[in-house]
Structure 1
């Protein structure tokens, strides 16, 4: 008798399982939509005014406490294709910027959180600002380097998206049209997005690829470019650039790039091959 009762109970339980599962499926907890919250208060200064305080050949540390130092900026770089390794280039306006800045960060895949055009807000308290190897940078206090990389674990303490409704605001970035490579070698364009027309790669680089390879491994590589006035400059690509095996194009056209400098060497950095608009 007891066996029959137990067996009957077992059958009831087995047949009840689909019903229970059905109930769970019909009442799944829905993931709430992401809500953008401005982490920092409104800007207390402009990016231009902030950058203007950077010493020419030294650094300063923004006091961690006291008056908040907060400014807005727009992301113009992307590490999605391997360039801009552990750096983010920003400028003060999406169009006709007056100043640019390089942020040192100890994290990769920054494009996933802050794609090109992201309107961001930076709270600089506790960070280091200054000129390092010819470029104005902002980063972390570091025992070895003048301006260190902001640790990934502290990144959100200093940078946040600016909301447009429930989402972070992302706007088109319009490259500044610069008439020549010579004109682009001006500190006012450092870490800003520009475009120069009527460019071509130097004849000595035709037939090569964007990267040089040693034992199958890419290396940091410079490729020479010329403008219509025979001015010269370089496109510099990281060893991690995923377009490295593509051939250098012949012909002429425009190139969009972020203006950079290492000590006295001006170098221009593309975000992807889409920035190179050269046709035969």
Structure 2
């Protein structure tokens, strides 16, 4: 009887195993393979012509584009997208999921279910499903980069295509940086320049595997995708191995002679003129645009004099904060004046204006950083024209009593207030309504005032850089 008790459970277990194994399918089916017809074939340029700017088109039939993957998202510099190109044009293919397409894949994309559009002026094929839309015809078919120049790139002839630039380098101020900020996952924007001063941005994702790689401090060649964002050209690199800067840097100031700012001012003859001599000035930034009291202006001083450098770019303080020594290559820039004060600038609509942002790297270079800027101690009656463009310090001064209780600037307009000393010598304090301290109430006491000295025609004016430079909290004059 005991033997029966032992054998029956064993038989039951064996039967259960056999029964269960009979329910398991031994021949596994491969993943479903989609039939992807080639259909009508169009070129990338044909697609762009078919869907011009401002239009969106979703495909419902079997139309295909044949291309090669020029850049994939393996490096992290792209996310769920690849750049493809054929013999003449390029485009972005935005993928429904990351991976599956790799650099050198020769493919055709059946466009059924995808959408053609432009995002910030960049032509895209949106909603590509790698399994349902793409057929790989071959692998390892590398795209040959097109040798070009920065000016040719800006003609938009190579958008979304793999290009190569030679004899280029990163601007000096970028050579201490990394390609991007991986810690904060922020994009890096670096400036590349050629020997003629033409520039282009190299943009890198904070997710790129090489985000923390230090930028090379040399000159050479670079291979990258020529992308765009609105009207801004952006280069996207696939690998730092394709940034070959193994040659000595060239110096854009080689062969140039330095002149003082005082000498530069003497070149002004009363009308706007382009500078054609190989000369430059060098000075320390004594005021930038951080507080908003200056707009698109840097004030530099070299000890002989100071001057405003007009630049068509905001937030200049990020690259050129107070205490930064810069060189300004003057050949090609313009000398002009506003309110009788000589300035460095460019040309705008035929008139004296700002240096174009695209020309900053061609004319301005940082030579030193974090220098101490010490104001010159003066009294109001000691101020002369030789102090214009200087940071000065006035002691024992105060705002006139009739203006107490008012703000530095009235709403909606740049405003003049009056500062005086105890002998009743007076000077104008001029404040933009865009200054961050514009709505601050004038301090009511006596004390120290630090500001940049300017002049409009015959009137001296002080421009405050920061609110804390108006240290007027002592007892007023008797």
* 1:247-262 matches, cutoff 5 A: 247-262=441-456
Q: Which residue of 1 aligns with 2:98?
A: none
Q: Which residue of 2 aligns with 1:48?
A: 261
Q: Which residue of 1 aligns with 2:289?
A: 79
The structure showing larger relative contact order (alpha-carbon pairs under 8 Å, at least 6 residues apart) is: 1
CA shift digits 1:11-54 (9 cap, x unpaired)? xxxxxxxxxxxxxxxx9435233577895336612323542433
Query: Is 1:170 the equivalent of 2:376?
Result: no
Q: Does the 8 Å CA contact 2:261/2:304 hold for their aligned counterparts?
A: yes
CA shift digits 1:218-240 (9 cap, x unpaired)? 42111110013211111111110
Aligned residues: 243
Q: Does the 8 Å CA contact 1:54/1:131 hold for their aligned counterparts?
A: no
Please state how far the C-alpha of 1:257 moved relative to its aligned partner.
0.7
- Distance in 2, matches of 1:117 and 1:220, equals 26
Query: Is 1:233 the equivalent of 2:427?
Result: yes
Instruction: Classify the secondary structure of the residue corresponding to 2:284.
Output: strand
Judging by fraction of residues, say which structure has more helix: 1
* 1:109-258 matches, cutoff 5 A: 109-145=315-351, 147-162=352-367, 168-178=368-378, 180-184=379-383, 186-213=384-411, 218-258=412-452
Q: Does the 8 Å CA contact 1:54/1:130 hold for their aligned counterparts?
A: no
Q: Which residue of 2 aligns with 1:9?
A: none
> Given the superposition, is the C-alpha separation of residues 268 and 159 from structure 1 closer, same or farther in structure 2, using an over 3 Å criterion?
same
Query: Is 1:70 the equivalent of 2:280?
Result: yes
Instruction: Classify the secondary structure of the residue corresponding to 1:141.
Output: strand
Write out the 4+ residue segments of structure 1 that deviate beyond 6 Å after TM superposition.
35-38
- Distance in 1, matches of 2:287 and 2:262, equals 22
- Distance in 2, matches of 1:205 and 1:152, equals 39
Instruction: Classify the secondary structure of the residue corresponding to 1:274.
Output: helix
> Given the superposition, is the C-alpha separation of residues 48 and 252 from structure 1 closer, same or farther in structure 2, using an over 3 Å criterion?
same
Query: Is 1:91 the equivalent of 2:272?
Result: no
Q: Aligned to 1:2, which of 10, 17, 27? A: 27
Structure 2 unaligned spans of 5+: 1-25, 32-207, 218-248
Q: Does the 8 Å CA contact 1:39/1:160 hold for their aligned counterparts?
A: no
Query: Is 1:60 the equivalent of 2:273?
Result: yes
Aligned-residue Cα RMSD (Å) equals 2.5
CA shift digits 1:115-159 (9 cap, x unpaired)? 0010101100011124332111111134443x2111112222111
Of residues 67-76 and 236-245 in structure 1, the stretch that sits farther from structure 2 once superposed is 67-76
Larger radius of gyration: 2
> Given the superposition, is the C-alpha separation of residues 270 and 34 from structure 1 closer, same or farther in structure 2, using an over 3 Å criterion?
farther
Question: Given the two structures, how large is their TM-score scaled by the length of structure 2?
Answer: 0.47
Q: Does the 8 Å CA contact 1:38/1:161 hold for their aligned counterparts?
A: no
> Given the superposition, is the C-alpha separation of residues 227 and 39 from structure 1 closer, same or farther in structure 2, using an over 3 Å criterion?
farther
Instruction: Classify the secondary structure of the residue corresponding to 1:229.
Output: coil
Instruction: Classify the secondary structure of the residue corresponding to 1:208.
Output: coil
Q: Which residue of 2 aligns with 1:33?
A: 214
Please state how far the C-alpha of 1:195 moved relative to its aligned partner.
0.7
Please state how far the C-alpha of 1:209 moved relative to its aligned partner.
1.3
Q: Does the 8 Å CA contact 2:253/2:329 hold for their aligned counterparts?
A: no
Instruction: Classify the secondary structure of the residue corresponding to 1:245.
Output: coil
CA shift digits 1:37-74 (9 cap, x unpaired)? 895336612323542433253333211xxx52122111
Structure 1 unaligned spans of 5+: 7-26, 163-167
